[in-house]
Amino acid sequence: MADLPVLKAEPTLADVQEYIAKALVYRGHNDEELYAMLMLCEEVGELAKAVRKHVGGKVDPASRDSHIDEEAADVFWVLVAICNRLGIDLEKAFRAKEEKNKARTWHYEDHANR
């Protein structure tokens, strides 16, 4: 079995991608694309529920206590794992997408005057 991976103290996004790739091998989950997509959907749902609870939305009082920071970290983890599996350099993709976004014109609807 591979050694338990260690994340650097001040990692770059590339370091995070490398860490997660190694952690998935260590945990035996390095070849499950469909599983990863299902996990991403599940984790986004858990994040949505935590945010809803945080802003005072109605939730089942018997539901487990959720922490937005932990749920956001779970979403990030699974997203990076999917990018790793598909060979996506997430920092490069993020920077390229931001360049496209800078060229876009953003319009916001005035909901107050409906």
Q: What is the mean pLDDT of each run of 10 residues along the chain (114 residues)?
A: 84 91 81 79 93 84 81 94 92 92 78 59
Helix (H, G, I), strand (E, B) or coil at 1: coil
pLDDT of residue 31: 67
pLDDT of residue 72: 95
How many whole angstroms separate alpha carbon 40 and alpha carbon 36?
6
**H helical segments located in 1-114:** 13-27, 33-54, 68-85, 90-103
* pTM of the predicted protein model: 0.72
CA 65 to chain centre: 20
How many whole angstroms separate alpha carbon 60 and alpha carbon 80?
31
pLDDT of residue 107: 75
